[in-house]
Amino acid sequence: MRDGVKLHTNIVIPKGLVRAPIVFARTPYSADRAISAAASNRYSVALPAAYAELAAAGYIIAVQDVRGRHRSEGDYVVTRPLVGPLNPTKVDHATDSWDSIEWMVRNVPEANGRVGTMGVSYGGFTTLMSLVDPHPALRAAVPINPYVDGWVGDDWFHNGAYRQSFIDWLHWMTTDKSSRYLLQFDREDVYESWLKAGSVSGMARRLGIDSLPMFRRLVAHPAYDAFWQSQAVDRILAARPLKVPVLHVHSLWDQEDIYGAPAAYAAIEPKDPGNDANSLVIGPWRHGQSSAADGSRLGPIDFDGNSSAWYRRNVLIPFFDQYLKDGGPPAGIAPVTAFETGANVWHRYDRWPMSCASGCPFAARAIYLGADGSLGWTAPKQGGFAEYVSDPARPVTYRQRPILSTFNPRSTWGDWLVDDQRFAETRPDVVTFVSEVLTQDVRLAGQPIAKFFASTSGTDSDWVVKLIDVYPNEHAARPELSGYELPIAMDILRGRYRDDPARPTPIPAGKVVGYTLKLPQVSHRFGKGHRIMVQIQSSWFPLYDRNPQKFVANIFTAQPDDYVRATQRIHFSPRHPSRIELPVIAGP
């Protein structure tokens, strides 16, 4: 690198390849592990599925440890910001990408001088960073489930609510260069561990990780201040010209970075007047599942075939071929390739979203919360509210207990976004609204937006909104899915940030306040015979830290007596029509 630091890079060159393009990934998770799925002298066995397919298609695979991790020299900074106010050095992921590509095109004789960057999550982040000041040999990029904005909706926070579940990651990644140590909680069911610890800072003290630099940064920046805004990758790329074709890959049930890919696509889209250089793939996957060998199911939900292999064969490899091979043929891929969950079909769209409030091919349509737990297409004619008591001493769990820590080898963390929500529906602190049985399909393609009116007896509150597909009571083909409540889009909003994410303010107790919560993107068909459900609750524990429900300066360091019960009301009336604006493309 330009500062003399050496970065460990594995370069896999299938025998006999000449004038071949390089697919280049930069990872904090071990470049050695990334290329060794199994011990073998055959790359088709040794490499994980996605790399093996690329190698068979004529690509050189290069995987590098980012600086300071595993076998690379230098210092490690979590998602190191660009050189500038947050990074006083002369190096960042943009310079390290540039310097590495420069080295490879000069030193790998089998290479044809064209490089594509690719990676998942943290590797999606480094892929996007390669676009900040792209090396001339960089001709294509595939960021997959990238970390883009740690406050708005990727790993650290969602709309200001802190994701405690990644305290494991912090420990695993920043206590040791080679990640040898897994965090040990005092209980297998960490629900109890978190409850006992009180606040997040209390837990960090117990675990002895309160001095880790990234943890201190989180505690110092609970709001969407300049620290987060200036390193949000979508904002960074929006301010630069688009020089390299990009294929963004999004997972509809991404349990870690459900914000990043569509946000980066949307930020770059205005720079692509020909609608051919900035494309999007939307698949029915968990985090990273598009690169896995099996994309035929997620938890109990079946996709009628290997959707991951389909995307790699029909979209990923043709995309790289077009831009990286000598005389590569046009890929003919659509601007947007989207899998429709519920229908299990792929679509070619010329844009995303397909439906929104205005300016899209289809207009979004509101579905309204109403009396007696009803949900319907007409606005309420009379006033009313649904009430529940949110008690921080008995928070609503995000899955059924026992809840294992994220990195517990027995955890099924990757599947929680498709968990049957019946366990929550029956709690007294969750309110549920459900439609009549649908007499025709309702198809969605875009971003549902919850616009709701609520009051609380407290001065701060979290609001969790879940959009759910309720399966028919009799599901002949899969009896075990009868009545299943499949989450389609769920998210959380920390009430103190309702007006200004950068400057939290108390919620006026007892007043009806309007909230807007943008839910994750959906590409889904609610089939005839199904019902649409909305659940609302005020905690989602221990995935997110508890809101004390009394306004405090910094929730990370809340004291035990700051946590108070609150009476919550969700209002529905002509004046306060709480609703979800659904990106409908076909329906009643």
Contact 213, 129 (CB under 8 A): no
Tell me the site size for ligand PG9, rule CB under 6 A: 9
* Pick from 170, 213, 196, 200: nearest CA to 555: 200
Residues 325-354 that bind ligand PG9 (CB under 6 A): none
Nearer to ligand PG9, 286 or 466 (CB): 286
Pairing between β-strand 355-356 and β-strand 362-363 as defined by DSSP bridges: parallel
Interactions with ligand PG9, residue window 546-565 (CB under 6 A): none
Measured from the CB atom, the residue of 257 and 562 that comes closer to ligand PG9 is 257
DSSP state of 544: B
* Residue 65 makes contact with ligand PG9 by CB under 6 A: no
Q: 3-class DSSP state for residue 288? A: coil
Burial (CB count within 10 angstroms: exposed 0-12, middle 13-18, buried 19+), residue 236: buried
Nearer to ligand PG9, 256 or 391 (CB): 256
- Taking the complex as a whole, the smallest distance from the CB of residue 187 to ligand PG9 amounts, in Å, to 24
- To ligand PG9, the closest distance from the beta carbon of 254 in angstroms equals 9
Question: What is the smallest separation between the CB atom of 244 and ligand PG9, expressed in angstroms?
Answer: 22
Q: Measured between alpha carbons, how far is 233 from 129 in angstroms, rounded to an integer?
A: 8
Give Dmax (Cα) for the chain: 75
> Which of 451, 518, 446, 532 has its CA nearest to residue 487?
532
Q: To which residue do tokens 């919550």 refer?
A: 568
Report, in Å, the least distance between residue 253 CB and ligand PG9: 14
Nearer to ligand PG9 by Cβ, of 169 and 259: the residue is 169
**Minimum distance from CB of 39 to ligand PG9 (Å)?**
25
Least distance to ligand PG9, CB of residue 537, Å: 25
Residue nearest to ligand PG9 (CB): 121
Closest CA to 214 of 161, 257, 288, 162: 162
Question: For residue 161, which of 549, 571, 485, 583 has the smallest C-alpha distance?
Answer: 549
Among 147, 346, 352, 452, binds ligand PG9 (CB under 6 A): 147
Q: What DSSP designation does 528 have? A: T
Whichever of 51 and 122 has its CB closer to ligand PG9, that residue is: 122
Residues 371-410 that bind ligand PG9 (CB under 6 A): none
- Which residue do the tokens 């079946």 mark? 302
For the bound state, the minimum distance from the C-beta of residue 134 to ligand PG9, rounded and expressed in Å, comes to: 21
Q: Which is nearer to ligand PG9, 173 or 246 (CB)?
A: 173
Element (H, E) at 282: strand 278-283
Interacting positions 107-136 with ligand PG9 (CB under 6 A): 121-122, 125
123/353 with CB nearer ligand PG9: 123
- Token output for 388: 């529940």
Q: Which residue has the tokens 């759910």?
A: 468
User: How far, in Å, CA of 35 to CA of 30, rounded?
Assistant: 9
Task: Using CB under 6 A, pick the residue from 51, 157, 162, 169 that binds ligand PG9.
Answer: 169
CB of 173 to ligand PG9, least distance (A): 7
Q: Which parts of 226-265 interact with ligand PG9 (CB under 6 A)?
A: 256-257
Least distance CB 168 / ligand PG9 (angstroms): 10
Q: Helix, strand or coil for residue 346? A: strand
User: What is the distance between the alpha carbons of residues 494 and 69, in angstroms, rounded to a whole number?
Assistant: 34
Selected from 30, 64, 79, 289, the binder of ligand PG9 by CB under 6 A is 79
Selected from 155, 269, 340, 420, the binder of ligand PG9 by CB under 6 A is: 155
Two structure tokens written together for 366: 């509101």
| Binding region for ligand PG9 (CB under 6 A) | 79, 121-122, 125, 147, 155, 169, 256-257
